[in-house]
Amino acid sequence: MFSVVLIASSLVANAQDVLVRKNGDVENVKVLEVTPTEVKYKKASNPDGPTFSDARSSLISVKYANGETQKFNVGNSYNNVVGGDRAYYAEYGKEKKMTNEISVYLQNGWGIGWQLRREFNPYVALNIVGVSFMSGEYAEGANPENFGQLNLKVLGVRGYTPSWKWIRGYADLNMGYTMRYYQTWKDEYEDTHHFGLDFSVGVQLHKRVAIGYNLTYITPADYYRDKTHWARISVLF
């Protein structure tokens, strides 16, 4: 019986509501009352302490302990550039600092890649490390060549545009190492090694989906091929 009481007390103590503000703050609270003009609550860290209140106009939403969400001023916050970005970041990015990105690359061939990113705010992120592999075919007159390209990306940066609802643009710049191999029409094999820059631009259409364009530039060039171009579709988690 005592164990049951302890479990019930623990569940009650952990039943917290989450207050999401327009300025990007996210706070665990216990909501007491929602009026047409304000939200009254107690801090989760001090449930027996004083009662606080926030104006509804300063809030994005309340996420209740039972899983329900009550949103405030959604239209105004997203139509306002600063409010929209803070809403995006506060509701979906503040508690999740790291982002994994899995990408599929398409051109005259195919490719796949992964990148780990550290989000700092709604506008700037650090691309920590990434790897991608592309495979395709070059056709130079009557001499087609199969090729493969392995890219290792390190220490890059991503910048975001202001968001509108779920839509925001982005641009990436990464540096790294590229290894290429070629198999010619004469069945000859050769591999080359390069320093490279990887550049991407695109649009994040949803918190988990993005489409874009990827350019890999290498030096020194081999056979006058100093860059490759790819369409890019990504899933974020």
| Entry pTM | 0.60
Same domain, yes or no, for 125 and 214?
yes
| Domain of 107, in residue numbers | 98-236
Query: Which of residues 47, 65, 92 is at a domain's end?
Result: 92
Residues 45 and 125 in one domain: no
Amino acid at residue number 172: D
Are 64 and 116 in the same domain?
no
The SS3 assignment for 200 reads strand
Measured distance CA(150)–CA(148) in Å, rounded:
7
Same domain, yes or no: 16 and 121: no
- What is the distance of C-alpha 10 from the center of its chain? 34
Residuewise pLDDT in 10s, the chain (237 residues) = 444 434 344 444 456 899 988 877 889 999 999 998 899 999 999 989 999 999 998 898 899 989 888 888 654 433 333 344 554 554 444 455 789 999 999 987 789 999 999 988 888 999 999 999 988 776 555 555 677 889 999 889 999 998 877 788 999 999 999 888 877 656 666 788 888 899 999 999 877 899 999 988 888 776 656 788 899 999 998
Query: 227 and 129, same structural domain?
Result: yes
Q: How many CA atoms lie within 13 A of 174 on its CB side?
A: 27
How many domains is the chain partitioned into structurally?
2
Q: Tell me the CATH number at 211.
A: 2.40.160.20
